[in-house]
Structure 1
């Protein structure tokens, strides 16, 4: 609904009783010119005061507030759905005036000038373009260069507005003071009041007995009030003494001193706390943001976890010309110990470990370098004091997910004209109790050259790796083989792509050699095995279009030959029958795998092949050329057995499963995709996945399904059966409410893997998120039936314009709800 202008507020576009100011005939011309020059100087000073406002006023807000139904389409585009209107500057589209060329208009109902004073009354209005000063009365002292204004003082500058019952200005000291002042800043959506509002010579605005908020008129959902508040318009920072933060009219925080940001600009200050409960215990974190420099910042977060004690989290970020760096650290100096865990341990539960009285910590360092450079660097290092840290104390203020391992890797490289050279070190801290540690690569050096001459090209790949291992967590006492490996892969290829299709033949040679640590091998085992093979492939496809170009039929043929080479030197090389395998595993079978030149990832097997793939793709396009759907099916046909595997077993099947995939854009907002793997011999579905995604400006809905039949792997083990349904959503329930949630359910085990439900409320000046979550703790799973659940209730509030909240719920939503955007 529209609001009436208060009777006490002057009309910004007229002065009801004012007349054009005219100098009486008896006044000499020279004093008028001098007076006009001083008025111009006075105007300039007052405009500085108006421009330095970093906040807004109740009365001014009433005047500049426009309800939603009166806003233009362009203004509505910038308005959040939860907002009922906006503060609108009436001179928003006016160009900034040039003081030397813009006419100054002065109107007053009366005027009196003498040698010492200039007095204007009965409604005074001074305007220069969009800059306006109004008051009932103005008195200017020529000697002291001070001006006094009374009667609804009104000063407007583009983007800001200040009002007061009276005002005094010291033009020499560049200072001004308002009584019962109020202020509005349209762009930052801030408003406020003060019993005494002073503009200092430094440009800062000082509020005595002042308040400010970003809420709409007559809405005091949150309010910051203090006996002394200072707003720095240049740095957009605020300072306060004896400050109380009110939420819903109730005082929720008192502090003798506070430093806070103004608006959405990155500024130092307190952020709103993150509050939650985990297994019934309180978990509260209060972040403080430190804007160190334009390219550096830090977040310092004291935190208290019931049953554990007080802890501290730190995050430091640095952005350079060629690199970015993030350091994260969390520590609990002395764990008080969880009572429930201690009781279970005392009862004989061997899956739990006591960390009582221990100092526990987490450290994460991420670095990316080489922006716009031929070189690059990439470091990702994470480490925790114990494997239970992330499960029991997940970070509240930065994004370190509940991982099963933490990567400790660094990579450096350089791009030459035709060569790429890199060096890599890799390790991982394992956080699972029933999985062996992975190999360390210390170091891994790679060099790859690529040359092209027309449609012909060549690739020259070289790699050297030293594999080390920490055997402190190896399973069942098995021997861990360590050593070095060198590989080469030289390839010559031809590539011809055209509108009718493509043809891509290639041929190459591969080789690898080892230097294994002899003390871990059988006495008769070869510690320097070397293997090589050659290969050739032909990949080709045709594109058939119908007459209107809306449909295509694309058959594809891929032939691969790889010469068999005996791998017996890599099998059964230790006394307990271990095979050489540092980093190799089978590739997951799917449609894309039908056209790959290898069956394995890693470099410990030179697989053999004599096979043909037949594939077919159908695409359908809308009349505007946008894809509507595409469907692909394919199958592999083997002419020889596959004699090379992870172990000494051969694969004698003559054909692969039928693999397919599809994607469809059902509308501008709905997308569907999936894959399927079917065994024609057993007539059984082996794998399937399906995803449905719906999104628009306010809606987000995801449905996912995954299925995988239990089957024997190349390692001889049985794969885990997967039959899971995943539903997530972020849905509006009115302009201000959003419902959010996820249900991740294992149909085969008939148990939930993760479930959370919550809501988000956006009132235009603050946002609340609350989530109740229950999730399966997979890290302690020694048997399928022993998996415990963790559960918690999390709450975050964000006072818009004052600071952002913690990241726990935000990170959960981004990780769990596909397509979620925190700015939606």
Structure 2
């Protein structure tokens, strides 16, 4: 054992702590590669390797010298030491120096008499827990921010990053220079790609690096060259170019190049010129800001002259296309928040034509909002001015939404004890929209004020064996209306008061059950609900926001046939249902839920959107513009029989089923079946079937953009299969059985490697042209490529969010 020399000295941070402080782009050099074990490489074990993208990882070995209480202490171990009379020291053999977390190993180390410098030669290596550097010769100035290392190899452990440099220098405090350097995140011996630069400078203080004559090599073949490149070397936000996106579709070539501007720590902006070979140059922008009590974002896009499309129609060719969406939100007080938003687009097809992300374009409206609320212990208050631009083209006056200018809401709840409670709901709103009053139905022609008051009282008695809850609401609604140029004899100050009464009750029976060697708790839960809403004349009332609800399981137990406050549907019915659940005692989760229910009507439901209690909806043969089922729905003496099932077959397979069956006409009104497969390794399969009879939604009539003049029948198959840790296969096929056509076809492959990723997706879909008419539809298709160099960036359009929506349960492997 050689002698030890301990010394406390103000050694400056010289090589490691920041030599390669950039995980985004460190440098490295041309030269013979080192064997993997010389880079602290540790292969995965056989069991671990099957689940890993990389063949191993970089792991720092244990320190050879122990840590000292004083981190400034310089601890030395050597086989041999020669001292000159003037104090110079030459350490030879297996020399090890440690100060704090940094340890140096070398064959030979020279210390001058003033101990201001360390010269190391031979097989030297420096480690500090975060990085490792190997080289042939190094000079470290202990009291200055200067160092030099020749023929170096380096590794950043956590970033899985390695590289080489013919000359590595510390030129000042937190400033470094690397000559003939390379950088890659690939495993040792697998240079799938690397970045090469003749002169790279890193400034840790600013978080930036620069490179001259930088080139990107794939399999040692240069594919891109930068005469000068500026790049970030830490996680701080920096101004500069971001990864571009590109795609090919039936609309041609699409290329977008984002530029990020780091204005201040709490302000930034992204400017994205986007060139489309058919349509032209679109300029997008986004500005974000963050303050202590508020935050916001402003985004928009502008195309000076639309060049048209090779597919679909070109109704906006030669016109300006644009949109803007500004949002701001903040806190006024601990219990009070506010929101501001303004959104607008040049036309209703903007996002169909220019949706920014893969598969996007389904934004249906642009919101305009100014809102403030208060959430007290007793009262909840809300004041807002709100409107929407509906994104459809063409857009009829009837489909234009009303603005609320303003809308004031005050709600409260009181628990009175012994199960009794009262509630107060109130709202006052001024409704406005800019339409020709003579071109819309009379009930939709007015603008004006609506006051809506809804006090309610109820009592709920609940025990483990069941519950009962009678409840009564009073709906009082009053209006002050203006019909503008519309000639009408309708009342301009109508009002309506109606009581809504319901009684809901249920029982819960339980028993222990053993099935297949498992213990379960089975429940049987019969339920009865009675609702009575008297028939009230509402022909003088406008229709600002009411829509008749489509029937469902939830409607069995609700007394409200309409959404909104302008219509209260007459109702005198009792709903009967039973539900049974199979509960796993060990986990407490529902393994199986099966429910069946039906409503029995004691009177016709005469109130529709016209609000007339004295008439029934017209017969479809007498009124082609009426919903074909509205007459039957109003006069039938019982609802469809509703059956629903949720079954967790095992830990991987589950299914859901809903069936609305008209036992009087002996026909299905709506049904859906879903079969789902979820594997612990990430495999996903979804198979769905949906059927809906024409006219099922009572709020949609012929002539509306959403009305389908056929019974809707669709199949939907989607899957994502993680064939290996490296390969994801994805696909979807959505088929319109009624019209015998595919609505969407998608097939994709994602290759995940240790240091790069590739995503290739083909997609073909039907664009409905903002209508439900089949004759207006047209097909679109595209091929989308995304390529990512891990640790450097990539090229292509991000599509993960769309895949998660199109393939429920799928979580793409991050590229």
Using structure 2 for the length normalisation, give the TM-score.
Answer: 0.87
> Is residue 190–residue 263 contact of structure 1 (8 Å, CA) maintained in 2?
no
Partner Cα distance (2:670, 2:771) in 1: 25
Give the superposition deviation at 1:543: 1.1
Looking at structure 2, the residues matched to 372 and 266 of structure 1 have their Cα atoms a distance apart, in angstroms, of 31
1:543 equivalent in alignment to 2:508: yes
Deviation at residue 80 of structure 1 after TM alignment = 6.5
Q: Where does residue 603 of structure 2 map in the other structure?
A: 640
Matched, 1:750 2:740: yes
Q: Is the 8 A contact 1:442 1:468 kept in 2?
A: yes
Q: How far, CA to CA, are the matches of 1:97 and 1:168 in structure 2?
A: 24
Q: Which residue, out of 91, 112, 120, partners 2:83?
A: 112
Is the contact between residue 56 and residue 185 of structure 1 (CA under 8 Å) also seen in structure 2? Answer: no
Residue equivalent to 1:776: 766
Q: 2:121 aligns with which of 140, 150, 159?
A: 150
1:670-715 Cα offsets, whole Å, 9 max, x none, are 3322321111101111101122332334312222222101136646
Change over 3 Å in CA distance of 1:214–1:315 after alignment to 2:
farther
Q: Secondary structure at the match of 2:230?
A: strand
Correspondence for 2:684? 700
The CA deviation at 1:101 is: 9.6
In structure 1, what is the Cα distance between the partners aligned to 2:431 and 2:339? 20
SS in 2 for 1:631: strand
- 1:205 counterpart (176, 180, 193): 176
Deviates more, 1:52-61 or 1:145-154: 52-61
* Counterpart secondary structure, 1:814: helix
Residue 470 (structure 1) aligns with:
434
The 1:201/1:322 distance shift into structure 2, 3 A limit, reads same
- Deviates further, 470-479 or 624-633: 470-479
Shifted more, 294-303 versus 590-599: the winner is: 294-303
Which residue number corresponds to residue 764 of structure 1?
754
CA pair 487-699 structure 1, distance change in 2 beyond 3 A? same
Distance 1:522 1:49 in 2: 80
The size of the alignment, in residue pairs, is: 769
SS of the equivalent of 2:105 reads: strand
Could you tell me which residue of structure 2 aligns to residue 575 of structure 1? none
Cα deviation, residue 817, structure 1: 2.1
Deviations 1:187-208 (A, max 9, x none): 1111111111112432233222
1:601 correspondence with 2:563: yes
Structure 2 CA distance for aligned equivalents of residues 786 and 762 of structure 1: 40
Q: Decide which of 121, 134, 143 is 2:92's aligned counterpart.
A: 121
> Cα distance, 1:805 vs. partner?
5.2
Could you tell me how far apart the structure 2 residues matched to 1:431 and 1:707 are?
Answer: 26
Matching residue of 1:818 = 808
CA RMSD of aligned residues (A): 3.3
Q: Give the distance between the partners of 2:773 and 2:749, measured in 1 at CA.
A: 35
CA displacement 1:756-799 (0-9 Å, x = unmatched): 21111111211111111111111265842231111111111122
Aligned to 1:471, the other structure's residue is in SS state: coil
Q: What is the rounded CA distance, in whole Å, between the counterparts of 1:264 and 1:531 in structure 2? A: 61
Answer whether contact 1:119 1:140 (CA < 8 A) is retained.
yes
Q: Secondary structure at the match of 1:211?
A: strand
- Counterparts in 2 of 1:502 and 1:105: CA distance versus 1, 3 Å: farther
Decide whether aligned partners of structure 1 residues 302 and 191 sit closer, same or farther in structure 2, where only a CA change above 3 A counts.
farther
Structure-2 change in CA distance of 1:472 and 1:71 (3 Å): farther
Residue of structure 1 in register with 2:7 after alignment: 37
Q: CA offset at residue 322 of structure 1? A: 4.6
Shift of 1:234: 6.3
2:376 maps to: 416
Q: CA deviation at 1:164?
A: 1.2
The aligned residue for residue 661 of structure 2 is 678
Q: Is the 8 A contact 1:177 1:198 kept in 2?
A: yes
Cα pair distance change 1:260/1:741, threshold 3 Å: farther
DSSP-derived class of the 1:417 partner = coil
Tell me how far apart the structure 2 counterparts of residues 247 and 798 of structure 1 sit (CA, whole Å): 12
Q: Unaligned regions of 5+ residues in structure 2, if any? A: 514-519, 617-633
Counterpart in the other structure of 1:630: 593
Aligned to 1:725: 715
Call closer, same or farther: CA 1:47–1:218 in 2, change over 3 Å.
closer
Aligned to 1:377: 338
User: Is the CA contact (8 Å cut-off) linking 1:56 and 1:182 kept in structure 2?
Assistant: no
1:487–1:42 Cα change, 3 Å: closer
Of 402-411 and 194-203, more deviation after overlay is shown by: 402-411
User: Which residues in structure 2 correspond to 1:195-594 (within 5 Å)?
Assistant: 195-233=166-204, 237-262=208-233, 269-279=240-250, 281-291=252-262, 296-338=267-309, 340=310, 352-356=314-318, 358-370=319-331, 373-379=334-340, 381-396=342-357, 401-424=361-384, 425-433=386-394, 435=396, 436-454=399-417, 455-471=419-435, 480-547=445-512, 550-570=521-541, 580-594=542-556
Matches of 1:392 and 1:121, distance apart in 2: 72
Partner of 2:7, secondary structure, is: helix
Q: Is the 8 A contact 1:169 1:175 kept in 2?
A: yes
**Displacement, 1:274?**
1.6
Instruction: Map Cα deviations across residues 512-571 of structure 1 (whole Å, 9 max, x no partner).
Output: 11111143454422111101011221111111110356111111111112233222323x
**What is the distance in 2 between the residues matched to 1:746 and 1:490?**
47
> How far apart in 2 are the matches of 1:383 and 1:95?
66
Separation (CA, whole Å) in 1 of partners of 2:428 and 2:675: 44
Q: Deviations over 1:394-453 (max 9, x none)?
A: 2259x9643343333443211122111112312223323255322222222211111223
